[in-house]
Structure 1
Amino acid sequence: MWRNSRSGWGLISILFHWLSALAIIGLFALGWWMTDLGYYDPWYNQGPWVHRSIGMLLLFATLARLVWRFAQPTPKAEGGRLEIIAAHVGHIALYVLVLLVMASGYLISTADGSGISVFGWFEVPALVYDFPNQASLAGNVHWYSALALMILSAGHALAAFKHHWLDRHSTLVRMLNPAHSRAGDHSATKSSR
């Protein structure tokens, strides 16, 4: 139930997926909201601190998710050849954009040489800093890659609903229920006997 199989996602992959989705949507909403805060707003400093902290945790979770993804089997994709290729390219683009958003956010936050405090639990050191216009350039990359990530994520969600409601595939169900994956494994075992 914890591990992936050829018929479905395990609980660890499912948790990575949905917690990442919540974090990405929450970070985008918080980032957008923060841009309108005035200097005397109580969240003027608190908002960016929370945003950076969750962003760093998401970066570490994404790196762990990639390691887990390469260590586990990938469930068999459903749909036609072009749909499967588009889904594969879309997933790669999502990972690239998430890493780009997180890396550019790190470069914004460390541009002055200060590390990033993650909820006061630990500090991520500034390894790259003091480049000309670092915060400004990284800020542009951060905004446009975050926007692209939200658009691609919406397309990803629409594709999942299309698979579920129009094509009647189990793609969405497999990402919601690891027990469904085990049922697929048992039926595949029985059919191969």
Structure 2
Amino acid sequence: MQWRNTSARYGLVSVLLHWLVALAVFGLFALGFWMVGLSYYDPWRQSAPDLHKSIGILLFATMLLRVLWRLFNPAPAALENHGALTRLASRLGHAALYLGLFGVMVSGYLISTADGRGIEVFGLFSVPATLTGIEHQEDIAGDIHEYLAWGLVIFAVVHGLAALKHHFIDRDSTLLRMFGR
């Protein structure tokens, strides 16, 4: 498999970034869903949010890399059997996924830094708190984070179902291309 995208298929970098982001999104969602139910005395009460934040910061860096990669390495051309409406839906759907991802991550950052403390990333480095002091910042960002996370995961499932529809019903190579074939 080639590193870069071609006009017909995705390259290794795009494929790995896609699946790494997908894994992180669903993993972070599961971790977030689990950790909000932890009791005050649970030993994971402090560790789970720290893990969630660290992975979230790395996901943000990965998404920045993904956007840069996409700018300098365009996606393969649309398949011939995809009409104008399918191509438009694909573009809008991907834009919604990207905006949702960045919205979830920015709101998570605003929750975590509302008290003026930075975010420690696996004890390796700290991301400073740059925007603080907004009235009810933690609560508002928390609500946005929760709603966007649910919306993102639901939309990602729809995205996956659309890929399966292309594969099993339309019998085109949309899904296979995201595996580099």
Q: TM-score range by the shorter chain?
A: over 0.9
Q: Give the secondary-structure state (helix, strand or coil) at the position aligned to 2:130.
A: coil
**Once the two structures are superposed, what CA deviation does each residue of 1:55-110 show, in whole Å capped at 9, x if it has no partner?**
00001100110010010122012322211110110000000000000000000000
SS in 2 for 1:99: helix
Deviations 1:158-187 (CA, angstroms, capped at 9, x unpaired): 00000111111111111113xx2xxxxxxx
**Percent of residue pairs identical:** 52
- The corresponding residue for 1:23 is 24
**Structure 1 segments (4+ residues) deviating >6 Å:** none
Q: How many residues align?
A: 178
Aligned equivalent of 1:121: 124
Question: What corresponds to 1:38 in structure 2?
Answer: 39
Q: TM-score, normalised by structure 1?
A: 0.91
Q: Which residue of 2 aligns with 1:172?
A: 175
2:67 partner letter: L
Q: Given the alignment, which residue of 103, 110, 114 partners 1:111?
A: 114
**1:148 pairs with 2:151:** yes
Shift of 1:5: 1.0
Report matched runs for 1:1-193 at 5 Å: 1-78=2-79, 79-177=82-180, 180=181
TM-align CA RMSD? 0.7
Taking the aligned partners of 1:158 and 1:76, their CA distance within structure 2 comes to 21
- For 2:136, the aligned partner's letter is N
Q: Quick one: distance in 2 between partners of 1:73 and 1:39?
A: 48
Partner amino acid, structure 2, of 1:127: T
> Could you tell me how far apart the structure 1 residues matched to 2:135 and 2:87 are?
43
Unpaired segments ≥5 residues, structure 1: 181-193
Name the SS for the 1:164 alignment partner.
Answer: helix
Give 1:186's aligned residue.
none
What residue ranges of structure 2 are gaps of 5+ in the alignment? none
One-letter identity of the residue aligned with 1:106: Y
> 2: distance between equivalents of 1:81 and 1:158?
20
Structure ranking higher in helix proportion: 1
* Structure showing greater Rg: 1
- Distance in 2 separating the partners of 1:157 and 1:125: 35
In 1, Cα distance between equivalents of 2:62 and 2:125: 16
